């Protein structure tokens, strides 16, 4: 277990640093009195047992985990509107402290289950007492509606191991479509929502 702790240390440091940096983008927008595309940020390091299971399933040797498994460090950025995803993606692409090496668009290319999200795989340098360790991390960017659906689907996946009964599968697909339509409707009244939020914030601060 001590070896695992040592292996995961850069990943744990990375998620803490990335959370601070990505939350900082939201603060920057607020200080400039602009609506932030970032609603909130969460992060996690994949549990050891999950790493072992995935390595076995994907035939990834333990000495190739750093290069072969891109989601040991995972970041999720939630936003209010679909258009915010493009803004956040551009902001991350333009940063000098991380490098985007792969992008996966599950919004335009929705999974069969109904899953929608935008994924970035990044290289991120972590400074340790032994020098710089470059790790891979996955950033998932999604709306609140997409995140609600994905959270429920993830929970059900544990119960059914991905083999959903036909009725559950159909309901999940219907729910995913409903979440998509909700995002579309909210995008249509985006300006009104943001004006209301600014008014509420201003009134609260008086």
Task: Write out the H or E segment, with its range, that includes residue 78.
Answer: strand 73-79
Q: Model confidence over 84-103: pLDDT tens digits?
A: 999 999 999 999 999 999 99
Domain of residue 142, CATH code? 3.30.460.10
Domain assignment of residue 72, given as a range: 2-205
Which residue, 79, 76, 82, 77, is CA-closest to 144?
Answer: 79
The count of structural domains within the chain is 1
Per-residue pLDDT, 20: 96
Taking the whole predicted model, whether its pTM rises above 0.75 is answered as yes
Known catalytic residues are: 138
Give the pLDDT band (50/70/90) at residue 203.
low
Largest CA distance in the chain: 59
Per-residue pLDDT, 33: 83
Terminal alpha carbon distance of the chain: 53
Q: How many whole angstroms separate alpha carbon 110 and alpha carbon 112?
A: 7
Would you state the structure tokens that stand for residue 128, as one six-digit string? Answer: 């340790």
Q: Does 204 score more than 70 pLDDT?
A: no
Q: Does 182 score more than 80 pLDDT?
A: yes
Q: Does 2 score more than 80 pLDDT?
A: no
Per-residue pLDDT, 135: 97
CB atoms within 10 A of CB 9: 14
Q: Model confidence over 16-62: pLDDT tens digits?
A: 999 999 999 999 998 888 889 999 999 999 999 999 999 999 999 99
The mean predicted confidence, pLDDT, of the chain is 92
Q: Does 200 score more than 70 pLDDT?
A: no
């Amino acid at each position: 277990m001590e070896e695992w702790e040592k292996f995961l240390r850069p990943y744990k440091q990375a998620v803490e640093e990335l959370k601070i940096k990505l939350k900082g983008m939201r603060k920057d927008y607020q200080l400039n009195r602009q609506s932030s595309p970032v609603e909130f940020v969460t992060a996690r390091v994949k549990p050891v047992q999950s790493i072992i299971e995935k390595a076995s399933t994907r035939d990834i040797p333990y000495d190739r985990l750093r290069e072969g498994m891109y989601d040991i460090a995972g970041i999720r950025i939630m936003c209010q509107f679909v258009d915010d995803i493009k803004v956040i993606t551009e902001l991350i692409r333009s940063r000098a402290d991380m490098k985007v090496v792969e992008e996966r668009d599950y919004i335009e290319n929705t999974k069969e289950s109904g899953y929608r999200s935008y994924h970035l795989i990044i290289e991120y340098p972590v400074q340790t007492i032994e020098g710089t360790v470059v790790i891979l991390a996955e950033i998932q960017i999604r709306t609140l509606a997409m995140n609600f659906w994905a959270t429920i689907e993830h929970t059900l996946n544990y119960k059914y191991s991905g083999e959903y009964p036909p009725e559950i599968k159909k309901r999940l697909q219907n729910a995913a479509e409903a979440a998509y339509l909700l995002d579309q409707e909210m995008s249509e009244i985006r300006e009104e929502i943001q004006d209301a939020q600014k008014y509420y914030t201003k009134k609260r601060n008086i």
